[in-house]
Amino acid sequence: MSRLTLQGLAADGPLLSPVAAGVWRLDEWGFDDAALAAWVEHAIELGITSFDHADLYGGFRCEALFGRWLKANPSRRDDIQLVSKCGIKPPDAARGWRLKHYDTSAAHITASVHASLQNLGSDHLDLLLIHRPDPLMDADEVAETFARLREAGKVCHFGVSNFSPAQYALLASRTPLVTNQIEASLLHLDPLIDGTFDQCQQLGVRPMLWSPLAGGRLFDAAAKPALAAELQRLAGVYAVSAATIALAWLLRHPCRPLPIIGSRKLSALDDAAAACRLTLAREDWFALLQAARGTEVA
């Protein structure tokens, strides 16, 4: 089976793999160095070379855990793409943060990037995202901060996460953005109808998708019997797993989304790679939409 190839995220954006490996639960996986290396190398072998991080994942531990592998294998840096996010400050007495809030100030973005690079063992990020919309975000200040980080060679490209179309348009009016990382799955259809996918297609910017399998709830026959049954039926038709069908459903959209797979299982990476090679028939795509909604299209 051929290895997946890199694809542009936007006209002037980075080249990323067609699906990304998410590490937000890396601290829960119990990997030792050998298991971590096996997981990373299996992803790379498939062509899943983009790894999605955030500064606060795992209580600010996950980037350093991944960095164990990269610091032990520095020659592999050119074989992967590192994505990270910043802007969320959870309650943390040691850091002096009393309650959860957002911070998109120049000082916080810059400090977060420097910490991520140190933890990951890299001199640059391929892509940095603002993790959540900040009601106190000064778009000009963020744009200036992005420009300084780009000029310093610390970050190559920038985007956002969980932004509405209007919020995206505001920041994009000040600085080039290459993606909006959002939640989307057969159990979270909002991007299909709230203008997010439309905006991405209009601008030629591919969205990144978190929780594309809805944490496995897609396959719960008790919760969503019609959807689970249709996923299993199509899995038989196409001779793939139900997870591959669910990912292929997302990949079928013309905005060309990039799902993020956050599982310790090597088989989950295999399922994701298989989805990139599968094109669902139009009627099968609508059959899944109908099963997810519980009603046919109007």
The residue to which tokens 């008790």 are assigned: 222
The dihedral through the CA atoms of 158, 163, 169, 171 has a sign that is negative
Q: How many CB atoms lie within 10 A of CB 152?
A: 11
The upper half-sphere exposure of residue 27, i.e. CA atoms within 13 Å in the direction of its Cβ, equals 13
DSSP string for the chain: -PPP--EESSTTS-EE-SSEEE-TTGGGS---HHHHHHHHHHHHHHT--EEE--TTHHHHTHHHHHHHHHHH-GGGGGG-EEEEEE-EE--BGGGTB-S-EE---HHHHHHHHHHHHHHHT-S-BSEEEE-S--TT--HHHHHHHHHHHHHTTSBS-EEEES--HHHHHHHHTTS----EEEE-BTTB-HHHHSSHHHHHHHHT-PPEEESTTGGGGGG-TTTSHHHHHHHHHHHHHHTS-HHHHHHHHHHTSTT--EEEE--S-HHHHHHHHHHTT----HHHHHHHHHHHHTS---
Catalytic status, residue 168 = no
Q: CA-CA distances (angstroms) from residue 133 to 15, 82, 160?
A: 25, 22, 8
Which residues are identified as catalytic? 57
